[in-house]
Amino acid sequence: MSRLSSLPFVVLVAATMSSACTRSEEPFAPGRGAGGGASTGGADAHGATAASSATEAANRAVAQSLPIDDPRDFEDARRGLLAREERVLVKGEDGGTIWDLGDYDFVAGDAPPSVNPSLWRQAKLNGIHGLFEVSPGIYQVRGYDISNMSIIVGKTGWIVVDPLTCRETAAAAFALARKHLGNAPVVAVIFTHSHLDHFGGVDAVLPADPEARKKVRVIAPRGFVEEATSENIFAGPAMIRRAAYMYGMSLPKDPRGHVDTGLGKQPARGTISIAEPTDLVDRAPQEMEVDGIRFVFMDAPHSEAPAEMTFYLPDAKAFCSAEIVSHVMHNLLTLRGAKVRDPVLWSGYVDAAMTEFRDAEVVFGSHSWPVWGNARGMDLLAKQRDMYRFMNDQSLRLANRGARPQEIAETIRMPESLAKEFADRGYYGTLRHNSKAVYQHYFGWYDGNPAHLDPLPPVESSKRYVEAMGGSSRVLEQARAAHEAADDRWAATLLDHLVFAEPDHAEAKELLAQVYDQLGYRAESGPWRDIYLSGAYEIRHGVSSPPIDMKPAMNLLSHLELGKFFDSMATRIDPEKAEGKRVVINFMFTDEGETHVVELSNSVLHHHRRSPDPAASATVRLTRPFLLKLATGQAGLRDLVFSEDFDVEGSRMDVLGLFSMLERPDGLFPIVTP
């Protein structure tokens, strides 16, 4: 079975979608640098150059500025280890690899020159895997996915928290727990939030028997199903494309490629599922007893996820922070693209937890490793709380002095008390891009400068920049000098203009790839490293990606509101094809007893759930499963004509015409070239 091309995001195409094709170019011959900022060694098999002397020096400086050898996090990450497998390898039904932690065996010893030593340290911590006892009756399986699965022992069975991304990795993690903890039944599942890596594997932990499954309590924050099924539905193709950069999906796993996301390794790609909640958490605090265990839940919406919650186990004095507290600085705006997260709310939820759960003796979460002891736990929470609030307050302070987003990012600095804390380092989010997110949260994209109100588009402006700087040879000369002086941010700017002005300029493209190599090697953030190196990889090897296959997401899609499919269709209307057309069609779902009236006018598609419109030119009778086949590309235009599951009364041509107006994005647009 094929897997989703990216994670943790679901792309729903509410019309037929052709398989993605691959655009490729001839790889460029690896370049060789010289001088202070240039590469000190040859290129590898993928064209990636060695770390330059300047990169080596920059990474040495990082190692000298931080207590890299501090063993405390490693002691915590290994504490309570009960069992581990030497090789964590998970295969799918077709024999394909879903997850292989062995890919990261190279992350050992001292950091190589091509990896920021702080990120290398984090990557080693994220590679510690196995079954761990957090405290009596609380266990975690770590290293089987980007996220953690937690198990709480109740009076009659197990309460499973966040069953990973996909069925395959969840099954492997659960099997490890079964092997060493026994075969108690699962009596409840808790989803801490609406991101896929915390619920997608639920099928693996629920009973196979449908009647037994109905007895399992499923506890989630309010709005969970809506957020979990609809996240990124409208902007899916672009987000998946950007997520491939953010997670380094095309990169080799080696010291010149993908090393770690900072939050974990890489998202697993397998068969995903979801379960409808039986209990919703909609306030804070909210007490609940689950299989004899006392819980105190805290609703925390619009923090790290739109639907999120934390909980406290008063008898164990254990606080599950979900993902509002991790051993990283998180994203206020994820680089794949999403809605900006509110740092004031986020910080406030951590502050409230410190008050409500002040007696906690252990803090554990959906990623990373636990922290034990009240003083240490409260210190972790306090510094995470202050980190998010600092980003908000100081970004606003600078903005109110007239600083623009780029100037804020260049100026803002964490106080020393936070900057030296590994848990507050920018392994996932960064202070630079989070400060820009704060600006966007309050002010939007426009920085107030009239010159930035309606600038020329990238290709046109780049052509004029190159001309104004004396032509391509002069720009290339200046960029090479900047690169050799280790001024790679400026070199990237110059070369970006040159490549957009002259996309076939092979020498400029290869030099830009070399510049991205060095910027990636210096990055402390896993996503920043992956983005730079993905840009270099794409320059050298072209745009390529496996076809999007939505079949593994059928279980998840079956829970999506029908109206969301029509909302998604509206975002794919080609206005030129729709120009001057007006169409009204009734869509009657015979298995759901639900009708949506769809109206196209002014190149805009509207839909309303209501009684059939007698003025409609056609009435379509179909089922949800057939709509899912359309959405996942398993049914096409031919099926609209001949399928018995798709009946049309009235103008079949109007129905076919409506579907023919829908664009079919392949999600393979270039990023580092025009």
Residue 179 sits in a domain of what CATH number?
3.60.15.30
The reported pLDDT for the residue numbered 41 is 61
Rounded to whole angstroms, the Cα distance separating 511 from 234 reads: 36
Question: Is 409 within 8 Å of 435 (Cβ atoms)?
Answer: yes
Residue 41: inside a domain: no
- The DSSP element (H or E) to which 142 belongs, if any, is strand 138-142
Rounded to whole angstroms, the Cα distance separating 612 from 338 reads: 36
HEC-encoded secondary structure of 73-131: HHHHHHCCEEECCCCCEEECCCCCEEEEHHHHCCCCCCCCCCCCHHHHHHHHHHCCCEE
Strands 318-320 and 362-364: parallel
Question: What is the layout of strands, in order, in the sheet containing 286-290?
Answer: 286-290, 293-299, 309-313, 318-320, 362-364, 371-372
Residue 543: inside a domain: no
- Convert the pLDDT of each residue in 653-671 to its tens digit: 999 999 999 998 878 899 9
User: At which of 346, 368, 383 does a domain end?
Assistant: 383
Angle between helices 506-522 and 472-484 (to 10 degrees): 30
Residue 422: inside a domain: no
Question: Is 354 within 8 Å of 319 (Cβ atoms)?
Answer: no
- In which band, very low, low, confident or very high, does the pLDDT at 546 lie, cut at 50, 70 and 90? low
- Convert the pLDDT of each residue in 629-649 to its tens digit: 877 777 777 777 778 788 999
Give the number of domains in the chain. Answer: 2
Q: Residue 614 sits in a domain of what CATH number?
A: 3.30.1050.10
Residue 319: inside a domain: yes
pLDDT of 143 over the 70 cut: yes
Residue 440: inside a domain: no
The reported pLDDT for the residue numbered 237 is 85
Rg from Cα positions in the chain: 26
Residue 419: inside a domain: no
User: At which of 383, 405, 433 does a domain end?
Assistant: 383
Question: Is 12 within 8 Å of 233 (Cβ atoms)?
Answer: yes
Rounded to whole angstroms, the Cα distance separating 277 from 3 reads: 26
pLDDT of 18 over the 70 cut: no
**Residue 186 forms beta bridges with which residues?**
158
Cα 20-527-506 angle, rounded to 5 deg: 60
SS3 579: coil
pLDDT of 2 over the 50 cut: no
Residue 542: inside a domain: no
Structural domain span for residue 579: 551-660
- Residue recorded with tokens 């057939």: 626
- In which band, very low, low, confident or very high, does the pLDDT at 32 lie, cut at 50, 70 and 90? very low
- In which band, very low, low, confident or very high, does the pLDDT at 21 lie, cut at 50, 70 and 90? very low
Rounded to whole angstroms, the Cα distance separating 565 from 104 reads: 39
φ, ψ of residue 188 to 5 degrees: the values are -160, 150
Q: Whole-prediction pTM value?
A: 0.93
φ, ψ of residue 551 to 5 degrees: the values are -55, -40
Rounded to whole angstroms, the Cα distance separating 281 from 259 reads: 37
CA distances 264 to 231, 248, 346, 458, 542, Å, are: 21, 13, 21, 35, 27
**Residue 660 forms beta bridges with which residues?**
none
Question: What is the layout of strands, in order, in the sheet containing 186-190?
Answer: 81-83, 130-135, 138-142, 149-153, 158-161, 186-190, 217-221, 279-281
- Average pLDDT rounded to a whole number, residues 77-104: 96
User: At which of 328, 358, 383 does a domain end?
Assistant: 383
Rounded to whole angstroms, the Cα distance separating 324 from 342 reads: 12
CB under 8 A, 24+ apart: contacts of 410-416 = 414/387, 414/390, 415/390
Residue 621: inside a domain: yes
